[in-house]
Amino acid sequence: MGLPDTLKARIDELEKRMNEFIESSETSEDEDLDDEDDDACRQEFIKILVDTCTLVREEAVKQSPHVTELVEAAEGILSEGVEYAYGGSEMFDFMPSWAHDDAAGQPLIKDNSENKLPIPSGALQELMRILRVPDPASRMKEMTPVKWKDTVKLHPKSSKLARFRPNLPTLTPTAANPIAMRVYDARCEVMSTPTSVVPIDMIISRDNACLALLAAGGYKNRSPALEYYLLDGSENHDSIENDHSIEPGLAEVAHHVAIHENRRLILIGDEYRVKSYAWAGPDGNQYKDEPLPVHTLASGNADGPINVLPNGNIIRAGRGQVAVWNMEELPTHGADGTDAIGEENEDVLEDTWRDDPDEIETSSGSIPNSHIKFTTHPDLKVDGWMPLVQPPATMLCYSDPNDCFTLDLEHEGKIVARYLGHGGIVNDLSTSSAEPQIFLTAGSDGFARLYDLRTPLPVLTFDACGELESCDAAVLAYPDGIPTVFTGTGKAEQIKLWDVRARAPVYELSTGNNQVQSLAWDSTRNFLYAATECSYMDRMGYRHDYRCVKSSHDGPQIVEVENGDNDDGYEDEDDEGDFDEERAWPKNAWHDENYFGYVFDAGNHRIYRYAFKEDPNASNLPVYGDAVVGESSSYW
């Protein structure tokens, strides 16, 4: 079915506007535009994207029979715009939101951060020093958030590692929702476990029995790493226990992971092969030390995301196709995990960056039993996916530059629906069995977006990062059936909770100055897990750019010198003397020591567990990191 003339004319006009804008901008690239002209240019560009979304929204509201074709045409215009915005024009580091519509009930939810300037506390202090701002101590207090002890707390047992937003609206949970109240009160015990590997991705099984962390480890983080945590009974422990780790026998760092709950398998894949590991035997007894190697699959041209279908078939995406393995027919590595599968393939050793090639298992692996060809989209490349709750053979997918869509694997990879509005690459997806029609995305443009599968535009857009950085992680939760969003940030080193129905950010959780790489929600126990990276640690394990911890909690400390030889009116903070010499703090940390109620720096990569409880033990807090001032190495 083609578009009727009226809609085709409007799409053609939008496409013409986009092409003319790009052509005009490329022609005037050498012109030196002033700030006002540059701002007008950006507004004109964003208006094209807004108008394109408005057309789609109008037709979707009318339940037009032409929505599918219209969305596909609109996607072409929007994708061209996004590629131009970040590519040739370099108009934006992070695009503003253009797919929301407050008047239509699909709003943008802002977070009015307490920071007056979007820079770390230490950088603000240094800026004032350089600019020789008069009365810097007073100015710092004006420009930085108030101390944690002066902020609102929703409950006497709210965690010291949670900071609530001021002027909160009436939140959704009530006394009739005791589990949700714990979450929204931030009544949680915060525990962590250090890890020597750099987190890449983290997933939790659908039955909440296993949490798997995909990571990079070994010398200079050149080796694949897998850690996993068995969660049954974890609610009875005050620490993250029952953890296991292995350096898989792949030749490269793996970037894709899946879990098969029924077989108790974790599958991970590098560019060439997939390996599966069992955390327990057929009788359910767990392997004590390391998981058992079970399968090796030869991926061929399928180097994308992995999944296991309800019938037990393993699938992996490639360009224009999906490779399929029938698990019932696959050979295994045997009872002790050492048997070869297929021919020995020493080619995998030739191009590896691993420093320990003797740890690479060289089985060529099992070739796919079949392929699903994308007959209508032979060049389609899927970068990430997850199965819909219903039907599970339909995959929710994303690909460059900003595409998000559902793929029906039972009908030759047909694209069922497209979802518009991303101003960059999709980084993360989240769904929940509590509401199968809803899904959440995290985007490189710094926004998280909530979608209804039945409509092509986001129903809510969360300004997770203030147009300052990429939003790398987001997860959807339903405590007591109340829709709740958690987002994780890198530069701002925090996790935020958002009340979907109240349309407001509620609080942020400390990550010990670590960047959030991935989030997972344990709906059985109402625990939030976060995989975090210490950006102040180099590949050799050394920490950089640390100073001593300020021992006072009286707020930002800049001492103005009334008399002396320092002609800029400032005293070096290291000369102030009010420091704890035993502990270190990153100079470029986003928050100062007094931002949360517990002074805490991780100093290494960590997995966090935020355990929301009715009566949490307030003393269950993470152990302070062991970074020291002046660490150094010959490598960065």
Please give the single-letter amino acid code of residue 272. Answer: Y
Summarised one tens digit per residue, pLDDT across range 111-168 is: 987 766 778 888 888 888 888 888 877 877 777 889 999 999 999 999 999 999 999 9
Same domain, 187 and 153: yes
Q: Is the peptide bond before 401 cis (omega within 30 degrees of 0)?
A: yes
> Please, is 442 exposed, middle or buried when counting C-beta atoms within 10 Å of its C-beta (0-12, 13-18, 19+)?
buried
pLDDT band at 568 (very low <50, low <70, confident <90, very high): very low
| pLDDT band at 577; cut points 50, 70, 90 | very low
Domain boundary among 367, 392, 423: 423
Domain contains 200? no
What is the percentage of the chain residues whose pLDDT exceeds 90? 80
Co-location of 489 and 606 in the same domain: yes
The position carrying tokens 């002396």 is: 564
Q: What SS3 state is found at 606?
A: strand
Q: Tell how far CA 426 is from the center of its chain.
A: 9
pLDDT digits (tens, 9 = 90+) for 424-463: 999 999 999 999 999 999 999 999 999 999 999 999 999 9
CA dist 181 and 529 (Å) reads 19
User: Is it the case that residue 635 has pLDDT exceeding 70?
Assistant: no
Which tens digit of pLDDT belongs to each residue from 139-151?
A: 777 778 899 999 9
pLDDT at 565 over 80: no
Whether residue 316 has pLDDT greater than 90: yes
Which of 178, 158, 177 is closest to 168 using CA atoms?
Answer: 158
Model confidence over 473-483: pLDDT tens digits?
Answer: 999 999 999 99
**Amino acid identity for residue 628 in this structure:** V
In a domain, residue 98? The reply is no
DSSP element (H, E) containing 10: helix 5-27
Q: How confident is the model at residue 552 (pLDDT cuts 50, 70, 90)?
A: low
Say if residue 255 is in the same domain as residue 401.
Answer: yes
In a domain, 198, yes or no: no
Please answer whether residues 317 and 324 qualify as being in contact, where contact means their C-beta atoms are separated by less than 8 angstroms: no
Instruction: Pick the last residue of a domain from 423, 446, 461.
Output: 423
Q: What is the mean pLDDT of the chain?
A: 92
d(CA 464, CA 104): 21
The residue assigned the tokens 């869509």 is 405
438 in a domain, yes or no?
yes
The predicted-structure confidence for 231-270, as pLDDT tens digits, reads as follows 998 777 777 877 899 999 999 999 999 999 999 999 999 9
Q: Does one domain contain both 274 and 409? A: yes
For residue 84, give the DSSP letter: H
Assess whether pLDDT exceeds 50 at residue 533: yes
234 and 174 co-located in one domain: no
**What are the pLDDT digits (tens) for 369-422?**
999 999 999 999 999 999 999 887 899 999 999 999 999 999 999 999 999 999
In a domain, 197, yes or no: no
CA–CA gap between residue 545 and residue 220 (Å, rounded): 19
In a domain, 202, yes or no: no
Say if residue 182's pLDDT is above 60.
Answer: yes
Split at pLDDT 50, 70, 90, the class of 576 is very low
pLDDT of residue 555 exceeding 50, the answer is no
Q: Are residues 415 and 458 in the same domain?
A: no
Quick one: 505 and 605 in the same domain? yes
Confidence of residue 574 (pLDDT cuts 50, 70, 90): very low
Same domain, 186 and 258: no
- Enclosing domain of residue 24: 5-92
Is the domain of 88 the same as that of 162? no
pLDDT tens by residue, 1-44: 689 999 999 999 999 999 999 999 887 765 666 667 788 999 99
| Same-domain pairing of 569 and 604 | yes
Give which of 439, 444, 442 is closest to 424, Cα–Cα.
444
Amino acid at 470: S
Shared-domain flag, residues 304 and 449: no
Query: How many domains, in total, are found in the chain?
Result: 3
> Is residue 377 included in any domain, yes or no?
yes
User: Of 33, 65, 92, which residue constitutes the final position of a domain?
Assistant: 92
Q: How many Cα neighbours within 13 Å face the side chain of 542?
A: 11
Q: For residue 100, tell me if it sits in a domain.
A: no
What mean pLDDT comes out for the span 553-558? 40
Q: How far apart are CA 494 and CA 427, in angstroms?
A: 17
Would you say 497 and 479 are in contact if contact means Cβ atoms under 8 Å apart?
Answer: no
The pair phi, psi for residue 432, each rounded to 5°, is -150, 140
* 437 plus 419 within the same structural domain: no
Q: What is the pTM of this model?
A: 0.93
